[in-house]
A and B are shown apart, each in its own frame.
Chain A
Amino acid sequence: MEQARTVVEMRNITKRFPGIVANDNVNFKLSKGEIHALLGENGAGKSTLMNILFGLYQPEEGEIFVNEQEVAIDGPNKAIKLGIGMVHQHFKLVHPFTVTENIILGSEPKKWLGLAVNKKLAYEQVGNLSKQYGLNVDPYARIDEISVGMQQRVEILKTLYRGADILIFDEPTAVLTPQEISELLVIMRNLVQQGKSIVLITHKLKEIMAIADTVTIVRRGKVIDSLPVAGTNPNQLAEKMVGREVSLKLDKKVAVLGDPVLEVKDLVVKGRSGLNALNETSFVLKRGEILGIAGVEGNGQSELIEALTGLRSVAAGSIRISGVEVAGESPRKISEAGISLIPEDRHKHGLVLDFPVRENMVLETYYQPQFNKNGFMDFDAIDEHATRLVKEFDVRTPTIMTEARALSGGNQQKAIIAREVDKNPDVLIAAQPTRGLDVGAIEFIHKRLVEQRNMGKAVLLVSYELEEILQLSDRIAVIYEGRIVGEVNPAETNDQELGLMMTDYKQPQGGSNIEQAD
């Protein structure tokens, strides 16, 4: 087979931000008709590199060639002129406008000597484009009426409408459900088949293996390697991305189930809007198991966590910890009764960013006798405690006096987990424990959660990442519109089935699944 033409070449690109070299002498080559994955941990410099290609940043050094011509891309308009389009992680759409109005915004087809917008033509063009690439978008729908997945397609259409041949996707799957992800992969294949070239920024290995032709790995601003996906495997990629060996498979012994320790029965909780966020939710969590709560964001997960930890009042129903009723008790009472929480938002809820690590380590236990002496806080004991946890949980911090703000996301999360696990709870609730973290930190945190379960603790894992749920859970409960709509065994299900349950397309099939009595 002949060598495909190179459509983009970036040579020796260097881009500095205050205190960091985001791109360090980077070389990148995109061939026509390929899907080229850009893989790297958070902060590796992937978005920066592509923002340079799209003209949003100017590099300090280096050259860019498009279709073998050297170009200076001084802004997105220039990039668009060169046939480059970018689908950002955060969509840039005007909500009360229709799909078509959004797409033509800024390059409207004109009529009457350019005095008016030719709406009819616009709707027709958008409809045709959508059909051509199998996007299945309704040109007349209003943005606030369509799903996030559809909004993303509108963004794709926007680039196509402006004549893009080179499409950049910045972490496109982060906001999608499993169904939407597989549909997006189909769309991307469609696009390359019709001659487009795609750069796919991601840190998900699975997607790369599924769809990419070539992968370029970036670590700390430097290109580590660029190789065809066909000859590689996820472990090798993970290793290159993190810079050390990581195990993607969790070693998990068979669960040894103990007594029920958290019993939730007919729980009703009101959400922010005053409507029921939880509708008679019931489940039981036993010692020695990880129960995964799977569901699309916004189906009552946050309210469930808040109710379980006493942060939100309970309208009806019961929550028992080791047989003791705690529904409606104060957060401190519940914490003392044996529930620990790794919160969803570590900056907002998990840490006081302006406080040193040592004070964050006693955020919930500062009042207990072991940290107080003669009516004052005993900072010798607090320091000792922090030093021990930092060591045990490998929290990388210069000192225990360092402000939590200065730690990286992974280390902040490790500090929270250290604190919560050290409380020695019966029930550990982990809400999105690895959101935004890279492979190395994820591996560490998953191991710790399994370790807790092996020690006979009960772990409640709430996550929007199906892969995480499937990997960790001993049992999966699917939540939909504030109800547990089914329970499945992770060994006997897959993300397709789960994804359907999460959107309530169907009830689980197969004899081993426990149907929820309704």
Chain B
Amino acid sequence: MNKLIKAFTKESAVVPFIAILLGLLLGAVIMLIGGYDPILAYKSLLEKVFGNPYDFGETLTAITPLIFTGLAVAFAFRTGLFNIGAEGQFIMGMTGATIIGVSVHLPWYIHAPLAVLVGAFFGGFWGMIAGYLKAARGVNEVITTIMLNWIALHLSNYIINDYLLEPGKGRSYMVDDSAAVTIGWLSRILDDARIHWGMFFAILAVIFYYVFLWKTKQGFELRVVGSNADAARYAGINVNKGIIKAMFISGTLAGLAGVFQVLGVFLNQAVSASPTGYGFDGIAVALLGGNTPIGVFLGAILFGTLSYGAAGMSFGADVPPEIIRIVIGSVIFFVAAPGIIRWFIKRTFGKKRKGEVI
């Protein structure tokens, strides 16, 4: 318990909290300028999230993919890589799961795991391409992952359109029941919110993230590569192999987000004109969480809650939901600019101290 208090009093933990506060404040100011009532808006946001079992369950569903994509981006960060491609890896994960879910027919205890694994592998493979290009050809991963995002989007649209399309629906056939990973009884308790096993896997992924990076030798290697690639080389660590491996794992995590959206939430994959946004939100979550396991977990919860609750804001206070993107944006801005926060802390708390002296 003492440890917990300590962790929260450290400056590193205080900064995100103040950033959130400042972000909400800025959102409120903007609402005021726009002629809306911020208190009512935030109240309806909370009501939307906690007001009834269904919305609470759906909030959990909104949080789950963000945990995965947040971890994906954070994992790459820890290895010194900026994975902008979680989006594409997410889409490839969906596609892999859809292909298996729709086109093969197996008993559930094989079908669901197989769909999960194939989807995860698709995502991992997609990440690995960027890793390989960086390791073997020195191509910056920021550029390749951005390009791979678009390739993934159109490749997946092509696969669905040409092979998996349910006629007249603009989406794939529904996946078999044997491939679905929904949790019926829990959904029923929560008024038919779309609850699925992905939630628990997301928590497992947080644990994996921590254990792998901080407790295994492979994780150690990747962290050395990420913190000081030169020292890694001197220590006999194969930096290029590390980059490829890290991008594979990162891609797998992002892919799993997509997998569970298909097998747990939508049960099909729609032909889509634009990226889903989950991958990009992952970047924000990773930033918000400082690439730590708990940080990403909490970051995803915050991000998911705000995003889902935004709908309530427009319903209850007539505030356009885009305002909440501004709030999220400014929270990230303040997290990324801790100097501003320190200045803020100093001003608010430093002044008091001065006053006491006089």
Interface residues of A (CB under 8 A from B): 309-311, 330-332, 335, 341, 343, 348-355, 359, 363-364, 366-367, 372, 375-377, 379
B234 touches A359 (CB 8 A): no
| Contact between chains at A348 and B236 (CB < 8 Å) | no
Bound complex: CA A335 to CA B237 (Å): 11
Residue contact A376 to B216, C-beta cutoff 8 Å: yes
- Name the distance in Å between B328's Cβ and chain A's nearest Cβ: 28
Closest 5 CB pairs of A and B: A332-B236, A331-B236, A363-B235, A349-B234, A352-B228
Using A331-B233, A341-B234 as known contacts, say yes or no to A348 and B228 having CB atoms under 8 A apart: yes
- Chain B's closest residue to A371 (CB) is B217
- What's the nearest-Cβ distance from chain B to residue A107, in Å? 40
The reply to whether B231 and A349 form a contact with Cβ atoms under 8 Å apart is yes
> Is B230 an interface residue when CB atoms closer than 8 A count as contact?
yes
Q: Kindly state the separation between the CA atoms of A364 and B237 in the bound complex, as whole angstroms.
A: 8
> Is the pair B216, A350 in contact by a Cβ cutoff of 8 Å?
no
**Closest Cβ–Cβ distance, residue B242 to chain A (whole Å):** 13
For residue B105, CB closer than 8 A to chain A, the reply is: no
The residue in chain B whose Cβ has the minimal distance to the Cβ of A368 is: B217
Q: Which residues of B contact A351 (CB under 8 A)?
A: 228, 231
B52 close to chain A: CB less than 8 A: no
With a cutoff of 8 Å between Cβ atoms, the chain B residues found around residue A348 in the complex are 228, 230-231
For window 95-127 of B, CB contacts with A under 8 Å fall at none
Cβ of A311: which chain B residues have Cβ within 8 Å of it? 233-234
Query: What 1/0 mask marks residues of chain B from 232 to 259 whose CB sits below 8 Å from any chain A CB?
Result: 0111111000000000000000000000
Q: Which of A310, A332, A354, A377 contacts B217 (CB 8 A)?
A: A377
Inside 8 A of A366's CB, which chain B residues have their CB? Answer: 217, 220-221
Residues of B in contact, count (CB < 8 Å): 18
In the complex with contacts A335-B236, A343-B234, A377-B228 CB distance below 8 A? no
Tell me which of B224, B228, B233, B234 has the highest count of chain A C-beta atoms within 10 A of its own C-beta.
Answer: B234
Chain B, residues 215-227, CB within 8 Å of chain A (1/0): the string is: 1110011011001
Q: Which residues of A contact B221 (CB under 8 A)?
A: 366
B312-343 vs A, CB cutoff 8 Å, 1 = contact: the mask equals 00000000000000000000000000000000
Bound together, the chains give a CA A363 to CA B230 distance in angstroms of: 12
Given that A331-B236, A335-B236, A352-B224 are contacting pairs, would A363 and B231 also be in contact in the complex, using a CB cutoff of 8 Å?
yes
- B233 to A354, Cβ gap below 8 A? no
How many A-B residue pairs lie within 8 Å, measured between CB atoms?
Answer: 56
Interface residues of B in 188-225 (CB under 8 A from A): 211, 215-217, 220-221, 223-224
In the bound complex, CA of A348 to CA of B234 (Å)? 10
Given the known interface contacts A348-B228, A353-B228, A355-B227, the answer about A331 and B220 at a Cβ–Cβ threshold of 8 Å is no
Chain B residues near A354: list those with CB within 8 A.
Answer: 227-228
Binding site for A on B (CB under 8 A): 211, 215-217, 220-221, 223-224, 227-228, 230-231, 233-238
| Contacting residue for B230 out of A309, A349, A355, CB 8 A | A349
B residues in contact with A375, CB < 8 Å: 216
Known: A351-B231, A364-B235, A376-B216. 19 other contacts (CB 8 A): A311-B233, A330-B238, A331-B233, A331-B236, A341-B234, A348-B228, A348-B231, A349-B231, A350-B234, A351-B228, A352-B227, A353-B227, A354-B227, A363-B224, A366-B217, A372-B217, A376-B215, A377-B215, A379-B215
- Quick check: A359 and B220 within 8 Å, CB to CB? yes
Complex Cα distance, B234 from A214, in Å, reads: 45
Question: How many angstroms between the C-alpha atoms of A366 and B237 in the bound complex?
Answer: 11
Write the nearest CB–CB distance from A174 to chain B, whole angstroms: 24
* B interface majority secondary structure: helix
The answer to whether B217 and A350 have CB atoms under 8 Å apart is no
A350 lies within 8 A of B215 (CB): no
Which B residues are in CB contact (< 8 Å) with A332?
236-237
Q: Shortest CB–CB separation between residue B302 and chain A, in angstroms? A: 26
What are the residues of chain B within 8 A of A363 when measuring CB–CB?
A: 224, 231, 235
A351–B232 CA distance with the chains assembled, in angstroms: 9
Q: Which residue of A lies closest to B212 (CB)?
A: A376
A353 nearest CB across to chain B (Å):
7
Q: How far is the CB of B55 from chain A (nearest CB, A)?
A: 41
- Residues of chain A with a CB closer than 8 A to B237's CB: 332
Hey, which chain A residues are within 8 Å of B231, CB to CB?
348-352, 363
Instruction: Considering the complex, give the chain B residue whose CB is closest to the CB of A345.
Output: B230
Complex Cα–Cα for A379 and B214 (A): 10
B87 to chain A, nearest CB (A): 29
Determine the distance from Cα of A309 to Cα of B236 in the docked complex, in whole angstroms. 9
Query: Measured between alpha carbons, how far is A331 from B236 in the docked complex, in Å?
Result: 5
Chain A residue with Cβ nearest B238: A330
Question: By the criterion CB–CB under 8 Å, are A330 and B217 in contact?
Answer: no
Bound complex: CA A47 to CA B334 (Å): 38
Q: Quick one: closest A residue to B237, CB to CB?
A: A332
Shortest Cβ distance from residue A134 to the other chain B in the assembled complex, whole angstroms: 44
Q: B residues within 8 A CB of A309?
A: 234
In the assembled complex, the CB of B215 is this many whole angstroms from the nearest CB of chain A, namely 5
Residues of A within 8 A of B220 (CB): 359, 366, 377
Task: Tell whether, in the assembled complex, residue B230 and residue A377 are in contact, meaning their CB atoms are under 8 Å apart.
Answer: no
A255 and B215 CA atoms in complex are apart in Å by 45
Give Cα A130 to B216, complex, Å: 65
CB distance from B153 to the nearest CB of A (A): 36
Of all chain A residues, the one with the shortest Cβ separation from B216 is: A376
Q: How far is the CA of A335 from the CA of B236 in the complex (A)?
A: 8
What CA separation (Å) do A364 and B224 show in the bound complex?
11
B238: chain A residues within 8 A (beta carbon)? 330
A311–B233 Cα distance when bound, in Å, is: 7
Smallest CB-CB separation from B228: which chain A residue? A352
CA distance A330 to B215 in the complex (A): 25
Which residues of the other chain, B, contact A376 by a CB distance below 8 angstroms?
211, 215-216
| A343 to chain B: closest residue by CB | B234
Could you tell me the distance in whole angstroms from the C-beta of B219 to the nearest C-beta in chain A?
Answer: 8
CB B209 to nearest CB in A, in angstroms, measures 15
Closest to B234 in A: A349
Within the complex, the shortest CB–CB distance from B228 to chain A, in Å, comes to: 5
5 of the cross-chain contacts (CB-CB < 8 Å) are A310-B236, A330-B238, A331-B233, A335-B236, A349-B230
